[in-house]
Structure 1
Amino acid sequence: LRTSQSAISQTLRNLEDRIGIKLLSRTTRSVAPTEAGEYLLNLLQPAIEEIENGINQISALKNDPAGTLRISADEYGIQSVLWPAVEKVIQQFPKISVEIISDYGLVDIVQGRFDAGLRRGGLVSKDMIALQVSKPIQMLTVATKEFLARYGHPKHPKDLVEYQCINLRLPTHGELYRWQFTKQGKTQIITVNAKIVFTTLSPVLQAARSGVGIAYLPIDMVQPYIESGELEETLKDWRHSYEPYHLYYPHRREQAPLLNILIDALKENFNKK
């Protein structure tokens, strides 16, 4: 512990003064525990061993990280940002386990015993450390070519109220998702006519591919289907971008070894994009 013998002796004397009992019998030639000192040592020995084991385990994390990370994130953040980083972590460090809880709300990660949360920038609590780990999220309005050929393209976001749309109901507060559109600095927020409603994004995409309506989805979810010709973008001049994703966590976890491993993987992926 890099503590001098004189400092230890003074600490023990202070303890003796505090409790009013001699713990050590001192002579000019030797120092030995008194009966009370021996009793106290026996009481404290398990705790001392536990502390020593804890220090050894933490030291071992430097060379052989092990343990469980608990992360809260929404579905799209898991798919597009979190999972690619987690995949790297568990491949590189086999003794690390990861538990991911899907939730659209802003979760109290301290109360929920999470190591960190992943949310869009504007949804992150101000008292947390927030690390940007994605680019802004560009949203596209899409449908099948057959649907748009049959019903025509909307010319303005307000026209969507006349179309069958596929929407998302946010489970955190039960409201339907309101679609945002931006053109030349002006934003329109539209409550669409929801023919079909889901609580996660994956079935929204599936329904759009089935040709039952217009959907509002992140670009990387729909880009492959646009390139293949299965889906077509409409209202191209009205694309809107949401704030990028941030990993957020309490200040006291800034030096947590497992969390830092995940942060490094997220940074690496972000810098490659």
Structure 2
Amino acid sequence: MRRDRLIDLNAFLSVADEQSFTRAAAKLNVSQSALSHTIRRLETHLGVRLLTRTTRRVSVTEAGQKLVDTLRPALDDIDRQLAAIVELGDKPSGTIRITSSRRAAETILWPALKPLLRDYPEIKVEVSIDSSLTDIVAERLDAGIRLGEQLAKDMIAVRIGPEQRMAVVGSPAYFENHPKPLTPQDLADHSCVNLRLLSAGGLYAWEMEKNGREIRVRVDGQIIFNDAQMVIKAAMDGFGLACTLEDHVLEQIADGTLIRVLEEWCPPFPGYHLYYPSRRQQSAAFTLLVEALRYRG
């Protein structure tokens, strides 16, 4: 490929990302007129319109989007390869972008990051707190943290935490007026606090298992949240039973603020894992992060 063609493609991708010739020109340190000329030259060479321009914004055409989808992974891979080459003769450096739920970030990611960042000041880490099932490839992230049972099969997964369990809990005040459920079927007679899943948009069906028998229970109640901490708070305030990760409520169970039920129906399952694309070229900085997070319990 001719060198000027690669420059043209990079310019197009910048405009597509910024959706603005003004911002893209500033990013590339060129004039708007020079950038417009570059895009016209590329469109003439390809014989298709790549961008649609209006007075308010710039958007990609269908052909332009196909070109973006082709260019992005290729140029991202080039950037990673160049970063890896630079690190061969230098200290680990560069930026790592990672997505995580708040709980995993607080209890696993941040404790591992603190000493790593102190020891390697050239490493930068951007953490996106997000409880939904983020597509790290589409969002151009390097890695994510997710419970093991939620991992896609085409990802490399590294265990970074112990096994997890679910816990069904209610407040002492709630149980003053309601009998404790003995089986999952008893939940039909209880008020429960529902959780709306950010990724799928539906309500979480409580997953239970005993002696190899798996049950998914649809519960009902007055209140629905899309945040696990608010579900727990509502349960503590007596608005019904909640089903949440055990480690979210261990303190409340220990001090009697919440009472646990149906424990025998909540077996352990794979805990938090770091996941990333199998084709990813690992930089020295990313390798250090993986080893810092790797679970050795």
Letter in 2 for 1:261: L
Letter in 2 for 1:122: E
- Does the C-alpha gap of structure 1 residues 56 and 176 become closer, same or farther in structure 2, counting only changes over 3 Å? closer
What is the Cα deviation at residue 60 of structure 1?
5.9
Bigger shift: residues 71-80 or 229-238: 71-80
What is the Cα deviation at residue 56 of structure 1?
8.4
TM-score, structure 2 as length reference: 0.65
Q: Which of the numbers 192, 196, 199 marks the counterpart of 2:223?
A: 196
Q: Which of the numbers 111, 115, 119 marks the counterpart of 1:88?
A: 115
1:137 aligned counterpart, secondary structure = coil
- Is the 2:193–2:224 Cα contact (8 Å) retained in structure 1? yes
2:275 aligned counterpart, secondary structure = strand
Q: Deviations over 1:107-147 (max 9, x none)?
A: 33222111111222232222222212222211111111221
1:246 aligned counterpart, secondary structure = strand
What is the Cα deviation at residue 263 of structure 1?
0.9
- What is the alpha-carbon distance in structure 1 between the residues aligned to residue 221 and residue 122 of structure 2? 45
Matching of residue 58 in structure 1 with residue 87 in structure 2? yes
Q: Deviations over 1:169-228 (max 9, x none)?
A: 011221000101111221211011132211121212222222221111111111111111
Equivalent position of 1:159 in the other structure = 186
Equivalent position of 1:13 in the other structure = none
- What is the alpha-carbon distance in structure 1 between the residues aligned to residue 113 and residue 135 of structure 2? 21
Matching of residue 221 in structure 1 with residue 248 in structure 2? yes
Equivalent position of 1:108 in the other structure = 135
Matching of residue 258 in structure 1 with residue 285 in structure 2? yes
- What is the alpha-carbon distance in structure 2 between the residues aligned to residue 139 and residue 93 of structure 1? 37
Which has the larger share of strand? 1
- Does the C-alpha gap of structure 1 residues 54 and 203 become closer, same or farther in structure 2, counting only changes over 3 Å? closer
What is the Cα deviation at residue 57 of structure 1?
4.8
Equivalent position of 1:3 in the other structure = none
Q: Which runs of 5+ in 1 are unaligned?
A: 1-52
What is the alpha-carbon root mean square deviation over aligned residues?
2.4
Bigger shift: residues 170-179 or 243-252: 243-252
- What is the alpha-carbon distance in structure 2 between the residues aligned to residue 236 and residue 249 of structure 1? 33
- Is the 1:76–1:201 Cα contact (8 Å) retained in structure 2? no
Matching of residue 247 in structure 1 with residue 251 in structure 2? no
- Is the 1:162–1:193 Cα contact (8 Å) retained in structure 2? no
- What is the alpha-carbon distance in structure 2 between the residues aligned to residue 173 and residue 150 of structure 1? 34
2:115 aligned counterpart, secondary structure = helix
Q: Deviations over 1:241-264 (max 9, x none)?
A: 333222111234353122112111
- Greater Cα radius of gyration, structure 1 or 2: 1
Equivalent position of 1:78 in the other structure = 105
Letter in 2 for 1:214: L
Equivalent position of 1:48 in the other structure = none
Q: Which of the numbers 157, 162, 166 marks the counterpart of 1:135?
A: 162
- What is the alpha-carbon distance in structure 1 between the residues aligned to residue 233 and residue 197 of structure 2? 18
- What is the alpha-carbon distance in structure 2 between the residues aligned to residue 247 and residue 236 of structure 1? 28
The count of residues paired between Structure 1 and Structure 2 equals 216
Equivalent position of 2:23 in the other structure = none
Bigger shift: residues 195-204 or 95-104: 95-104
What is the Cα deviation at residue 233 of structure 1?
0.4
- What is the alpha-carbon distance in structure 2 between the residues aligned to residue 83 and residue 194 of structure 1? 35
Letter in 2 for 1:152: P
What is the Cα deviation at residue 54 of structure 1?
6.6
- What is the alpha-carbon distance in structure 1 between the residues aligned to residue 285 and residue 165 of structure 2? 31
- Does the C-alpha gap of structure 1 residues 192 and 181 become closer, same or farther in structure 2, counting only changes over 3 Å? same
